[in-house]
Chains A and B, each alone.
Chain A
Amino acid sequence: EPEVTQTPSHQVTQMGQEVILRCVPISNHLYFYWYRQILGQKVEFLVSFYNNEISEKSEIFDDQFSVERPDGSNFTLKIRSTKLEDSAMYFCASSEASGLTYNEQFFGPGTRLTVL
Chain B
Amino acid sequence: DAKTTQPPSMDCAEGRAANLPCNHSTISGNEYVYWYRQIHSQGPQYIIHGLKNNETNEMASLIITEDRKSSTLILPHATLRDTAVYYCIVRVKNDYKLSFGAGTTVTVRA
Contacts and interface: CB of A to CB of B under 8 A. Distances in A.
Contacts of B44: 43, 91, 105, 107
Contact of B46 (A58, A91, A106, A108): A106
A35 B99 CA distance: 10
B22 to A, nearest CB: 15
Contacts of B97: 33, 45, 48, 56, 58
A109 B23 CA distance: 29
The number of chain A residues touching the other chain, given as a range, is 20 to 34
Q: Main SS of the interface on chain B? A: loop
B68 interface: no
A42 B96 contact: no
Contacts of A108: 43
Nearest to A104: B46
A21 interface: no
Given A42-B102, A43-B38, A107 B96 contact: no
A44 B62 CA distance: 24
Contacts of B101: 42
B30 interface: no
Contacts of A4: 43
Given A102-B32, A102-B49, A104-B46, A56 B96 contact: yes
A35 B41 CA distance: 13
Of the listed residues B32, B49, B97, B102, the one surrounded by the most CB atoms of chain A closer than 10 A to its CB is B97
Interface of B: 32, 34, 38, 41-46, 49, 87, 93-94, 96-102
Of all A-B residue pairs in the complex, the 10 with the closest CB atoms, nearest first, are A107-B43, A104-B46, A48-B96, A45-B97, A43-B100, A56-B96, A91-B43, A107-B44, A42-B100, A108-B43
